[in-house]
Structure 1
């Protein structure tokens, strides 16, 4: 369970760092670029990917789609944390698991059981209650596009990563390294364009933040994979503990440390999000 705890801590730390970015005037795109360079460097160090295995038959369209989506959604994630806080952003990210579940049913024709249907119903109710506002003056309605984009974006990313996992001709770690490398190239291209257009200046503080961000971003992936390896016979336990852990820890940090204000309905939404994860986990066990 120590790997699950470490993965949860790394995941929530990323959200906390993004929350602090405005306070220390961090340029997010620069930090994200360094983040991917750090992640691919650590991926090379820990996983020893063999890039010689890459051929034209590799799923390059998926690699490229992820390379564009990952930095883009990272920027949206940062904006969501900035505008709406850690609590609601983390829940939007974790409940995005419903998108690959729906894709499994409508696209890949996988069967649904009663647990999964109940989990989906509770999950959508949780989303509505978590994001409901106290009043019209509390938050500008245009800000709600960010958690919605986080929800949809991470759901699509999850589907694409699952497609990579199904490609058996390449080790998953080699594909992961390739995606990180391409995401770094895309992010670097954006930074170079912004510097040439004089929309931003390169600053050392962004480098430092990006290194820390990349360390925890990769740590989340590394410990999550180790947790699945250590609990190979109980993947649903890892799935449930990870998602529930992030929701609980993220909510506690957002409420206690950053004083994020939530309504009673928002708290009900958080509780229902946890219940939804439990039912989705039960549905996996039922399939087995």
Structure 2
């Protein structure tokens, strides 16, 4: 249970840090690039982390999937930062965590692997998940400090929803067809390294060609973001092991926790004004996750 709580708290803190970037006028993209470099450095401190530096890594069939995933990761991370600043903490956390609908459907329709028979209740939960994104994304207009059009407020969370779901589906596919259990650490490290590499190239283009200024504050901000970003995955893996690798139970519970902590933190620390529709959306998000995984929850409780 301790690792689950730590996973929830560390994951929610990432979205809070994005909000602080806005408050302290941090260059978001620069900090995100530094963040992935920090993830690589932290990973190198663990046994086997340096294996990703060996050229032989690219002989693995999963290497190119890891690089594709790393590219998606940095794009999604930047969109999460943008959405947090333009729409709010609550909408971002809901969109990112409710995206488990996509890998679930991918497993059912494409991979055709499932540990259970999906019922009407499960599919109702998936529809409710989409409704939750819309309800939490529509911001109160009167008290909003950042003026964002309704179209943008809806589009950004939906893109995060799709990108996060595609990333999880890609992990699912790679794990089933290409990855061996003892290669998980190398796969994660190559993913982070790719995110750092892609981000570094874009940042170099901005600095050299576009002559953008580099902010030294981005280094500290990237460290502050990178350490919890690495441990968000680290604690999630430990939590999975603690719960017998029962991801069908753990992921919904973990995501519900992040949505609740995100919403609570948004109100307490950032004074986000949540309308009745937003609050209803949070409730629908929790209900959606419960409906999607009610069989596993009942089985675990019994």
TM over 0.5: yes
Matching of residue 153 in structure 1 with residue 156 in structure 2: no
1:128 is matched with which residue?
134
Matching of residue 181 in structure 1 with residue 193 in structure 2: yes
Matching of residue 143 in structure 1 with residue 152 in structure 2: yes
Separation in 2, partners of 1:174, 1:108? 24
1:95 is matched with which residue?
98
Aligned-CA RMSD value: 2.3
Residues 80, 143 of structure 1: 8 Å contact kept: no
1:255 is matched with which residue?
267
1:234–1:74: structure 2 CA closer, same or farther, 3 Å change rule? Answer: closer
Q: Deviations over 1:174-225 (max 9, x none)?
A: 1111111111111110111000024422222100110110101011100010
1:168 is matched with which residue?
179
Q: In the TM superposition, what is the alpha-carbon distance from 1:61 to its structure 2 partner?
A: 3.2
1:25 is matched with which residue?
25
Alignment of 1:235-246 (within 5 A): 235-246=247-258
Separation in 2, partners of 1:284, 1:117? 15
Q: In the TM superposition, what is the alpha-carbon distance from 1:54 to its structure 2 partner?
A: 2.2
Separation in 2, partners of 1:189, 1:236? 37
TM-score by length of structure 2 reads 0.87
Q: Which of 111, 125, 145 does residue 119 from structure 1 map onto?
A: 125
1:283–1:116: structure 2 CA closer, same or farther, 3 Å change rule? Answer: farther
Aligned to 2:111, what secondary structure does the other structure show? coil
Q: How many residues align?
A: 288
Q: In the TM superposition, what is the alpha-carbon distance from 1:55 to its structure 2 partner?
A: 4.2
Question: What 5-or-longer segments of structure 1 have no aligned partner?
Answer: none
Q: In the TM superposition, what is the alpha-carbon distance from 1:284 to its structure 2 partner?
A: 4.3
